[in-house]
Amino acid sequence: MNGKGGMENRKQIVLVDANLFTREVLQKIIESIEDVRLDSFETIDDAVLGEIVKLDPQVVILNLDPDPESLLDFAGQLNRVLRDGALVVTAADMTPELIRRAMRQGAREFFPQPYNGDEVKLALASLMALQRSSPRTQTHAGQVVTLFGAKGGVGATTLTTNLAVSLAQEVQEEVIVLDLNLQFGNDALFLNLKSKYSIFDVAKNISDLDPALLKKTLPHHATGVTLLPSPFRFEDAESINAAHISRILQLLREHYDWILIDSHPYFNEVSIQALDDSDRILLLSILDLPTIFNTRRCLELFAKMGYSREKVLLVLNRYLSYEGADLPEMEQLLQYPVYARIPNQDFNSTVGCINQGIPITLKMPNAKMSQAIVELRDLLTGQGAGKERPGPGRSGFLGLWKK
């Protein structure tokens, strides 16, 4: 073990790397950072784990080479015992699959090899700033609900904004919508809100953020819903990472009762972090073959990620009354229950509400879609019980799946 001596206020970084060459390269980069103490280990075992716990580091960097399987297991152990430290992983070949698995074990950042010294130092500075400002204890624990479409165009933004408005109106609790469709988010348009700041500004200033000022600064809908919009520029979306999302959600939990996340319909470090940190996930599907196919793939992946059926709730959106006959067959096909159904609304009224920035639950409260959203709200808040589902009916288009 190599240590860099220093004063007590130095920030602690731990490096675990069995490869002499990569270990020495990264050591030189880290040792060039002021006010940092570095301890490095070459092996992984219970003794090393105990030493790391005693050091209580701000950051642990783990090289997944030469044995990713055992080192990923060690990453999971680290994540369970670290008090406030951020886990960073590196490997000679950081494949998307390896990154996803590392994220499931708690990794917040990834260092590709060969190392870029400036990028490593910038990432470490950001992580340590986040750790200083993110104590894990919290006095308030708001509910995080992520709405995730099995594919694009299934109505996630419409459902997110209408559900948020319904919660704020009827439950009388603090509700915020987080637009996590970082490049093409439209929640601000759906709520007819304008903002000077976005999630990009919050992420950039997270270490010095005043929560009370943030609550005053963000735009508020007439019903009381607060909005944290997606970035205004495409290029700003690239600077937001999983560590930012984790810290932002922790901050929002402390000040809001409900955090509704409108997520983009694909998996990357940002969306996976949001999904991991969510209390519940509303997986949105519609009755067409491509979406059903993607729904099954999502459910399989969520199971591999360790999400329970209490966490992942399947919502059938835009269904027509005659399609109800296909519902039992769909549940049997997916081996998964439908938690809620949101009926289709005629095109003209839906588009009219969107163009005016008025949620349909406000403009047309008696519409079947609005009533179904209220029922979904009551299910989430524990104030309602699910209706009986239709019994077996005719075999619909889903029968084509099995042919």
Position with higher pLDDT, 8 vs 70: 70
Whole-number pLDDT of residue 262: 96
* 59 and 184, same domain (yes or no): no
In-domain check, residue 316: yes
Q: How confident is residue 310, by pLDDT bands cut at 50, 70 and 90?
A: very high
In this structure, what CATH number is given to the domain that contains residue 11? 3.40.50.2300
* 106 and 29, same domain (yes or no): yes
Question: Residue 390 above 50 pLDDT?
Answer: no
Nearest Cα to Cα of residue 134 among 2, 235, 248: 248
CA–CA distance from 169 to each of 29, 221, 242, 377 (Å)? 53, 11, 31, 11
Rounded to an integer, the average pLDDT of 286-304 is 90
In-domain check, residue 20: yes
Rounded to an integer, the average pLDDT of 71-86 is 82
Question: Residue 135 above 70 pLDDT?
Answer: no
In-domain check, residue 138: no
Which single residue is written with the structure tokens 């010095």?
208
* 118 and 171, same domain (yes or no): no
Position with higher pLDDT, 316 vs 171: 316
In-domain check, residue 164: yes
Question: Residue 186 above 90 pLDDT?
Answer: yes
**Separation of alpha carbons 361 and 71, rounded Å:** 50
Rounded to an integer, the average pLDDT of 236-262 is 90
**Separation of alpha carbons 39 and 74, rounded Å:** 17
In the chain, % of residues over pLDDT 70:
88
In-domain check, residue 137: no
Pick the last residue of a domain from 76, 101, 132. 132
Q: How confident is residue 278, by pLDDT bands cut at 50, 70 and 90?
A: very high
* 199 and 118, same domain (yes or no): no
Measured torsion, CA atoms of residues 371, 375, 378, 383, in degrees rounded to the nearest 10: 110
pLDDT one-digit tens code per residue, 366-379: 889 999 999 999 99
Lowest mean pLDDT among 22-31, 78-87, 148-157: 78-87
Q: How confident is residue 401, by pLDDT bands cut at 50, 70 and 90?
A: low
Q: How confident is residue 126, by pLDDT bands cut at 50, 70 and 90?
A: confident
Rounded to an integer, the average pLDDT of 108-126 is 89
Question: Residue 78 above 90 pLDDT?
Answer: no
In-domain check, residue 394: yes
Rounded to an integer, the average pLDDT of 219-235 is 93
* 73 and 200, same domain (yes or no): no
In the chain, % of residues over pLDDT 90:
48
**Separation of alpha carbons 359 and 162, rounded Å:** 6
Rounded to an integer, the average pLDDT of 195-199 is 93
* 213 and 360, same domain (yes or no): yes
Question: Residue 385 above 70 pLDDT?
Answer: no
* 98 and 17, same domain (yes or no): yes
Question: Residue 330 above 50 pLDDT?
Answer: yes
Region for 363 from its dihedrals, namely left if φ exceeds 0, alpha if ψ lies in -120 to 50, beta otherwise: alpha
Whole-number pLDDT of residue 129: 75
Whole-number pLDDT of residue 379: 92
* 192 and 213, same domain (yes or no): yes
Whole-number pLDDT of residue 282: 97
Helical packing angle, 46-55 and 68-81, nearest 10°: 40
Lowest mean pLDDT among 30-34, 159-163, 331-335: 331-335
pLDDT one-digit tens code per residue, 3-46: 444 445 678 999 999 999 999 999 999 999 988 999 999 988 88
Q: How many domains does the chain have?
A: 2
- Residue pair 277/244 in contact (Cβ under 8 Å)? The answer is no
Whole-number pLDDT of residue 326: 65
In this structure, what CATH number is given to the domain that contains residue 150? 3.40.50.300
- Residue pair 356/362 in contact (Cβ under 8 Å)? The answer is no
Whole-number pLDDT of residue 321: 58
Q: How confident is residue 139, by pLDDT bands cut at 50, 70 and 90?
A: very low
How would you write the chain as a 3-class SS string?
A: CEECCCCCCCEEEEEECCCHHHHHHHHHHHHCCCCEEEEEECCCCHHHHHHHHHHCCCEEEEECCCCHHHHHHHHHHHHHHCCCCEEEEEECCCCHHHHHHHHHCCEEEEEECCCCHHHHHHHHHHHHHHHHCCCCCCCCCCEEEEEEECCCCCCHHHHHHHHHHHHHHHCCCCEEEEEECCCCCCHHHHCCCCCCCCHHHHHHCHHHCCHHHHHHHCCECCCCCEEECCCCCHHHHCCCCHHHHHHHHHHHHHHCCEEEEEECCCCCHHHHHHHHHCCEEEEEECCCHHHHHHHHHHHHHHHHCCCCCCCEEEEEEEECHHHHHHHHHHHHHHCCCEEEEEECCCHHHHHHHHHHCCCHHHHCCCCHHHHHHHHHHHHHHCCCCCCCCCCCCCCCHHHHHHC
Nearest Cα to Cα of residue 287 among 312, 323, 313: 323
* 174 and 275, same domain (yes or no): yes
pLDDT one-digit tens code per residue, 338-350: 999 999 877 788 7
- Residue ranges making up the domain that contains 108: 2-132
Position with higher pLDDT, 360 vs 321: 360
* 325 and 356, same domain (yes or no): yes
Question: Residue 149 above 90 pLDDT?
Answer: yes
Whole-number pLDDT of residue 138: 44
In-domain check, residue 215: yes
Which stretch, 32-46, 127-141, 206-220, 387-401, has highest mean pLDDT? 32-46
* 366 and 238, same domain (yes or no): yes
Pick the last residue of a domain from 72, 99, 132. 132
In-domain check, residue 18: yes
Pick the last residue of a domain from 132, 162, 190. 132
* 253 and 317, same domain (yes or no): yes
Total count of residues recorded for the chain: 403
**Separation of alpha carbons 261 and 249, rounded Å:** 10
Question: Residue 130 above 50 pLDDT?
Answer: yes
Nearest Cα to Cα of residue 340 among 385, 299, 280: 385
Whole-number pLDDT of residue 177: 97
